[in-house]
């Protein structure tokens, strides 16, 4: 099993450009989520999904869109990138209906917006 796979690993955008961060998992996990990690801020939840066709907002959703058309994939879209979105983005998944199941993380996408 590959686990959680994120692409690309690195990306540089200019302000106003759009892009999609890809996340795929092969563990048949219903729950998937996106976090951003900034120095001194820890990880903050952006959006999450509990199954295909179901998404909801986390702590910092502004500027980001998500959709979930399949169990495996959960892409994160930046429609108009801003320097404040410079961060490391992590996708994570777990079994949905077990409260104590651990999160499985990808290795992150490091995004720089100039």
The b-or-e profile of 63-73 (16+ CB within 10 A means b, else e) is ebebebeebbb
Q: For another protein, which residue of 1, 2, 28, 40 counts as binding (CB under 8 A)? A: 40
| Residue corresponding to tokens 């949905």 | 96
Q: For another protein, which residue of 21, 24, 34, 35 counts as binding (CB under 8 A)? A: 35
Within 10 angstroms of residue 58's Cβ, the number of other Cβ atoms is: 16
Q: Does 75 bind another protein (CB under 8 A)?
A: no
Q: For another protein, which residue of 27, 45, 52, 95 counts as binding (CB under 8 A)? A: 45
The residue among 41, 23, 33, 36 whose CA lies nearest residue 82 is 36
Q: Cβ 20 to another protein, closest distance in Å?
A: 19
Interface positions with another protein (CB under 8 A): 4, 31, 33, 35, 40-45, 48, 50, 56, 58-59, 90, 92, 99-100, 102-108
């Amino acid at each position: 099993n590959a686990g959680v796979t994120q692409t690309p690993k690195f990306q540089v955008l200019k302000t106003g450009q759009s892009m999609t961060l890809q996340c795929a998992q092969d563990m048949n996990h219903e729950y998937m989520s996106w976090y951003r990690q900034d120095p001194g801020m820890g990880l903050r939840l952006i959006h999450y999904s509990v199954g295909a066709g179901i998404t909801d907002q986390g702590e910092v959703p502004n500027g980001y869109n998500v959709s979930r058309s399949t169990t495996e994939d959960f892409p994160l879209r930046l429609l108009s990138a801003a320097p404040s979105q410079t961060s490391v983005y992590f996708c994570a998944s777990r079994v949905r209906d077990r409260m104590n199941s651990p999160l499985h993380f990808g290795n992150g996408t490091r995004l720089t917006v100039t």
